Amino acid sequence: MTVMLPSCKIYSFSGASISPEIKTVSVDYFTNQATVVNPSLSQELTEALKDKFLTRTSLSLVDSDGDMAFSGVITSYTTTPQAITSDQTAAMNRLSITIRVHYTNDFDEKSNFTKTFTRYQDYDSSLSLSDVEGPLVNEIVSQLVDDLFNETAVNW
């Protein structure tokens, strides 16, 4: 359901507030330039961002040069120890993913940006990364996509 409010933007109950002249969105493939590479991360991040805009807005997805356009790179994929115990071992580890995003809006140049976004999830150090990597990556990607959506489509 969409409601028109007098500020010249369309507000939906998904939280999006996108100017009515914006009709399309494009999402370039996020290349992975991290030192450690998860082979499915680029595809997962790219598709999740596309899906977010397709399911939460009425915008049409185009291959390139959308009214709203995203491009970017995965710059870091790291695991670091957290919560060091008294015997100097880590009780928790942290998987962090960092992306650098370039966003353009053809109808509002002031909103264009190039920014870095980082999200992480902690996991028990008794588990190996390979034991927990799938669900952790899914959660981190979801958080990163929410950050991008909120930054570009939610302007309350």
Q: Among the listed ranges 60-69, 74-83, 95-104, which one has the minimum average pLDDT value?
A: 74-83
Taking only the tens place, the pLDDT of each residue in 25-46 is 999 999 999 999 999 999 999 9
Q: Among the listed ranges 59-73, 89-103, 108-122, 139-153, which one has the minimum average pLDDT value?
A: 89-103
Average pLDDT over residues 60-70: 97
What's the pTM?
0.87
Q: pLDDT: is 16 or 91 the higher one?
A: 91
| Rounded Cα gap, residues 113 and 96, in angstroms | 22
The answer to whether 72 touches 93, Cβ cutoff 8 Å, is no
**Domain ranges, ordered by start, for the chain:** 23-153
Maximal CA-CA distance, the chain: 61
- Among positive and negative, which fits the CA dihedral 14, 19, 140, 88? negative
| Superfamily classification of domain 23-153 | Lipoprotein like domain (3.30.160.150)
Nearest Cα to Cα of residue 134 among 52, 40, 43: 40
